[in-house]
């Protein structure tokens, strides 16, 4: 999974937003598939036009949350991949300190997504932050 800096660099190499959208879709295709059992009400993100599912596992050895996700939309699946690059593998405190809006602005996403996609992305950010605050159950353990 690329880092935010990798994503920014790759976005800068692409000349137009059509190419950037294709890149976002490719990021989504590289996501590890989410188990069909995780496509449930317990992992569904409310507030998204598309279907979005996110789950977190605790890597106890490193005390970090590891996120996985999926969507029924190719573009949104790519947005999930970007959020995973931003949040996955971080401690709860680190997740809560991340300025998601600033990070997404570095990619230029905030001004190039439809209002519905922007609202859905904001819902995903709030969902991840709820995991970090302990408001959502963290699933299984990674060792």
Q: How far is CA 59 from CA 4, 22, 87, in A?
A: 21, 32, 14
Distance CA 2, CA 49 (A): 26
H-helix or E-strand containing 57? strand 52-59
Q: Which residues have CB under 8 Å from 16's CB, separation 6+?
A: none
Q: Exposure string (b/e) for 38-70, b if CB count within 10 Å is 16 or more?
A: beeeebebeebebebbbbbbbeeeeebbbbbbb
Could you list the active site residues? Answer: 48
């Amino acid at each position: 999974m690329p880092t935010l800096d990798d994503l920014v660099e790759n976005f800068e190499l692409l000349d137009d937003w059509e190419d950037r959208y294709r890149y976002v879709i490719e990021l989504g295709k590289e996501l590890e598939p989410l188990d069909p059992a995780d496509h449930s009400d317990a992992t569904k993100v409310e507030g998204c036009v598309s279907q979005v599912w996110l789950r977190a596992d605790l890597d106890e050895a490193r005390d970090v949350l590891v996120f996985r996700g999926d969507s029924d939309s190719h573009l949104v699946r790519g947005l999930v991949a970007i959020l995973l690059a931003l949040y996955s593998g971080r401690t709860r405190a680190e997740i809560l300190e991340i300025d998601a809006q600033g990070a997404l602005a570095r990619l230029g996403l905030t001004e190039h997504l439809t209002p519905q996609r922007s609202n859905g992305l904001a819902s995903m950010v709030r969902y991840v932050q709820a995991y970090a605050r302990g408001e959502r159950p963290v699933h299984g353990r990674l060792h």
